[in-house]
Amino acid sequence: MAAMNRPSASAVFDVVLGVVVMGTVGALIGSFLGASSIPLTAGLGLALGAVVGFLGGRRFLVSILVGTVLGGLLAWVVAGIEKISFGAGAGAAMGGFLGVQISMLLDMRAARKAAALETSDDPVAAHSAVTKS
């Protein structure tokens, strides 16, 4: 029988991070919709988080996590403790949006660098630039 390849620690961390972050965001959304919606929205968040983590969306998940924390803190300072969940939800949405945009810009920059090095006369540098990004 063939032995199954075990996932790397990095891949497991990404899936766990996705489940925790997106499950929390799903639970926050469910709390806005009503207590009976929490299991459904949290379950959807868990599933989406596992998929995003499995696909390697660590930057995206970290941006959502940072947005959630900063949004909650800002709402607490500005509007009081009863509005933390609203701020956290809005911060998660903004964090996700900004994370996607920043990731896209970083990928474009890496591609531009690789293209510039590819046109140069040093093939080792071009290969190095592509594998580092």
Count of CB atoms situated within 10 Å of the CB of 67: 24
Enter the pTM of the model. Answer: 0.73
Q: What is the pLDDT of residues 8-32, one digit of tens each?
A: 888 899 999 999 999 988 888 888 8
Q: Which amino acid is it at 94?
A: M
Burial code (b: 16+ CB inside 10 Å, e: under 16) for 12-50 equals eebbebbbbbbbbbbbbbbbeeeeeebeebbebbbebbb
pLDDT of residue 49 exceeding 70 = yes
| Sign of the Cα pseudo-torsion (85, 87, 91, 93, in order) | positive
Quote the DSSP letter at residue 82.
Answer: G
